[in-house]
Structure 1
Amino acid sequence: MTTKLSEFSLPLKLTFLIFSMVLNCMGIVILQLSEAKITYDKLGFLESFKDLPIAFISLFAVNFISKTGTKNSLILALTIVGICSLILPFVEVFWFYKLWFAIIGTCFAIGKICVFGMIRNNISDEKSLAKTMNSVEASFMIGIFVVNTGFGWLISSRFSEFWKFGFLSISVLSGIAIFLFSRLQISEPVKTDQGSVFKEVSGMINPLLLTFLAVIFSIVFVEQSFNSWLPSFYKNHLKVNSFFALQASSFLALFSYIGRIITANIIQRFSLSKYYISCLALIILVVITIIGIQYIDADDSRALLFLFPVIGLFLSPLYPVINSKMIAKIDKSKANLFTSLIVIFSSLGSSVSSIVMAVLFGNQMLNFYSVYILCAVSLIFIISLIYFRFADQKI
């Protein structure tokens, strides 16, 4: 890690913490609005209002960031997030949630491209990239833990009707992040003459990149099955109250944070590919154990409450490890464009996952939740093996 990176590591982590909170409050919104008699069909498509703008805006955000500057673009995104979080508690209509998530998704697309661009332009070594990305992305998991724990306590208190006022804390954090960035002098990426965005993308396409994007899509597909829907699974299938559902699922985020912190500290001792495959194998082992408990012991066993969070230990390192392995191969001048592709396929994976989960919940097929997870993880395993076969290629 360079000295320059160490100087702005705090605002980078705080940025990911903020975006994590606004993106992963989806589970809380789904839980609360379902009690307000909003159907799961509508709630399932609510995720798309967040993810599709992320996918749509990402490619065009590259030129915007290039013209505006990385720091200014990131400050603008954080400002909009802060204002939106300030307004949300005072609006009651369902359509505003769609608009709110669409705006948040757009800001996240800009923010993530800026953060990844800053990291790539300061680090070139593959394992150092993996260490840094795991460290920064660990704060993303803390955001999930904080938002579930904080809102969980608020929802279970005598002030539960004011649960939306928890978003005011996000406005405060946004203000702090903006202040920290405004005081920093950040070297911007080297500007190059850019042609058509689509022409630039077509020039990058090869089997390695396509396989990588399929892996990214699949990883986020699985992650979203937990992050947004696990609280509702706990409440509807395991019959626990709203508070415990949110607290139990927040432990998934805590374990995920631990998984990324451990990875950041030990990854330089291992082969990235072997470490990644080992994590996948352990996820499959845990999920098979869960299925065994469901179908042999009891379908609503309380042991499931404690086993699902353990998956976070092994699932959380996959995304930053595979990203760092690939982004190290990318020329610095193409880092923002490459990150936009990561953001697009991540958002598509999230959106498709939520729609599938809405079908499972809407049709009372929660018995197949763990089987669905096992099939998805097995697919990641197969695609990842294909990816590592191509991994020696250059982009």
Structure 2
Amino acid sequence: MLKYGLYKFPKMAAKQPNIALPLKLTFLIFSMVLNCMGIVILQLSEQNITYDKLGFLESFKDIPIAIFSLFAVNFISRFGTKKSLIFALMLVGTCSLFLPFVEVFWFFKLWFAIIGTCFAIGKICVYGIIRNNMTEEKSLAQTMNSVEASFMIGIFTVNTGFGWLISSQFGEYWKFGFMSISLISFFTVYLFSKIKIAEPENKTTRIFPDLSGFGKKTIILFFAVSFFIIFIEQSFNSWLPSFYKDHLKVNSFFALQASSFLALFSYTGRTITSKIIQRFSLSKYFMFCVMMIIFLLIIISGLQFYFSENTKVLLFLFPVIGLFLSPLYPVINSKMIAKIEKNKINTFTSLIVSVSSISSSINSISISILFKNQILTYYSLYILGAVIMVSVLAYSYFKLSSDRI
């Protein structure tokens, strides 16, 4: 097995030594466009657009993801992994190029819908490449954490970059920051055009994916755990800057920079996990991270309710949660994906993407109610409830996960 940076690829990598870079950039790009939601909410809320409208904005991203994920397997099978990825990246790059020149609110809805559709294609393609070249559970978890770590870098980059732009004398031109995402997208397309990617042998002409074998109790529990993990992540990624600004009364620049530290801790968490995961049981490591999140949220809730005069310390406590939250999704995914047959991996990934998007949409609508009614004291308790659900569901899943699909 050969090593390329943070990534480890088996024999395919020997023929394609540059495959790691475009995969890394693909996750970086989708991370930036998906997680700019917090910036958009923060900026548009200052233009007298209500929180209930902004809460539904995320649905324009998530619903297309959920719907198109069901058809993406057939799309990818028809055109191939490489062409599908290039198509998705070209569409993201082109739309991001035009975004700064459009002033109407409805274009954000259209833009997020296109981004969501492209993400459905991109994630299925990337997960398929990883699964088709990894067989051992812990090696897959190690690779998954390494690849997903670049997703955290995207969150950090978009928050930091836009934070500096918004706070500068050119703050009114903040939307032009999306042009940099466009350039990275076109560069990634160029990299993909120069390499060959092994395509899966199985082809499908089905309109809807074959869902046979996905009704087992372990799989249902897995999707339930994934649902609440995404629920928790989006509570931070999309709404933490607005929480900092509205509840802790910090300016937009500091709100975005403080949120960037959450991404930095999350990147650290996934990088550390990719280095040490071989030494631990996946289930025990997962439950340890969950317990640490619960511990931190209890401290945060106590500070909010009983020491409200010291709530500024929350600016430093919330980011630490990323250290333990970030490994959850890759670890639980890799544990289940290692049990899935290779010819079913694209279908399985499409279901992961669909469930994730539904979770994100429901969370955004419900959390917007907290903001609209100015009851942000319950923000940490709201997240804590979801973490407790993860702990209960994950415990049940790990007790049953010895079955192989």
TM-score by length of structure 1 reads 0.98
Aligned-residue offset at 1:277? 0.4
Please identify, of 296-305 and 63-72, the stretch whose mean Cα deviation from structure 2 is larger.
296-305
Question: Take 2:270 and 2:189, find their aligned partners in 1: how far apart are those partners?
Answer: 26
- Say yes or no: does 1:372 pair with 2:371: no
Q: How many residue pairs align between the two structures?
A: 394
* Residues 1:68 and 1:193: Cα distance change in structure 2 (over 3 Å): closer
Q: CA contact under 8 A between 2:78 and 2:203: conserved in structure 1?
A: no
User: Could you tell me how far 1:10 is from its partner in structure 2?
Assistant: 1.2
In the TM superposition, residue 297 of structure 1 has moved relative to its aligned partner by: 1.6
Question: Which residue matches 1:238?
Answer: 248
Tell me whether 1:101 sits opposite 2:109 in the alignment: no
After the TM superposition, which residues 294-313 of structure 1 pair with which residues of structure 2 at under 5 Å, given as runs?
A: 294-298=304-308, 301-313=311-323
Give the CA deviation at 1:116.
0.3
Pick one of 269, 292, 303 that aligns with 1:259. Answer: 269
Partner of 1:391: 401
Q: State the match for 1:113 in structure 2.
A: 124
Matched, 1:71 2:82: yes
Asked whether the equivalents of residues 289 and 325 of structure 2 are also in contact (C-alpha less than 8 Å), the reply is: yes
Contact 1:50 1:102 in 2 (8 A): yes
SS for the counterpart of 1:251 is: helix
Shift of 1:2: 0.8
Q: Indicate yes or no: 2:149 matched with 1:149.
A: no
What is the Cα deviation at residue 7 of structure 1?
Answer: 3.5
Q: Deviations over 1:318-350 (max 9, x none)?
A: 000000000000011111000000000111111
1:323 is matched with 333
Deviation of the 1:192 alpha carbon = 4.3
Name the aligned partner's letter for residue 358 of structure 2. Answer: L
5+ residue gaps, structure 1: none
CA distance in 1, matches of 2:158, 2:336: 31
1:171 pairs with 2:185? no
Instruction: State the TM-score, normalizing by the size of structure 2.
Output: 0.96
Distance across 1 between alignment mates of 2:207 and 2:84: 21
Residues 247-288 of structure 1: per-residue CA shift (max 9 Å, x gap): 001100000000000000100111100000000000001111
Offset at residue 296 of structure 1 (A): 2.1
Measure, in 2, the Cα distance between the counterparts of 1:7 and 1:18.
18
Write the letter of the residue equivalent to 1:394: R
Which of these residues, 24, 39, 42, is aligned with residue 13 of structure 1? 24
Mapped to 1, the partners of 2:61 and 2:48 lie a distance apart of 21
C-alpha distance 366-300 of structure 1, shift in aligned 2 (>3 A) = farther
Look up the match of 2:53.
42
Mapped contact 2:74–2:206 kept (Cα < 8 A): no
Q: For residue 197 of structure 1, give the secondary structure of its aligned residue in structure 2.
A: coil
**Separation in 1, partners of 2:124, 2:371:** 33
| 1:83-232 matched pairs, under 5 angstroms | 83-193=94-204, 195=206, 197=208, 200-232=210-242
Percent pairwise identity: 67
The structural deviation recorded for 1:194 is: 5.6
Deviations for 1:188-237, whole angstroms, at most 9, x for unmatched residues?
01214565635x11432211111100111100000000000000000000
Does the 8 Å CA contact 1:192/1:333 hold for their aligned counterparts? no
- Which whole-Å CA distance do the structure 2 matches of 1:362 and 1:23 have between them? 23
Q: Which amino acid aligns with 2:34?
A: L
> Which residue of structure 2 aligns with residue 4 of structure 1?
12
- Mapped partners of 1:197, 1:330: distance in 2: 19
Runs of 4+ in 1 over 3 A off after TM superposition: 192-196
Q: What is the CA-CA distance between 1:295 and the residue it aligns to?
A: 1.8
Amino acid at match of 2:393: I
C-alpha contact 1:237 1:300 (8 A) present in aligned 2? no
Q: 1:115 to 1:320 in 2, by over 3 A?
A: same
Distance 1:370 1:192, change over 3 A: same
1:29 — aligned with what? 40
The CA distance in 1 between the partners of 2:299 and 2:259, in whole Å, is: 18
Deviations 1:37-69 (A, max 9, x none): 000010000000000000000010100100100
User: How big is the shift at 1:12?
Assistant: 0.5
Gaps of 5+ in 2: 1-8
Provide the rounded CA distance (Å) in 2 between the counterparts of 1:98 and 1:299: 39
Amino acid at match of 2:12: K
Q: 1:94 to 1:285 in 2, by over 3 A?
A: same
- Alpha-carbon distance in 2 for matches of 1:239, 1:4: 51
CA distance in 1, matches of 2:132, 2:194: 20
State the distance in 1 between where 2:206 and 2:382 align. Answer: 42
Q: Distance in 1 between matches of 2:200 and 2:84?
A: 13
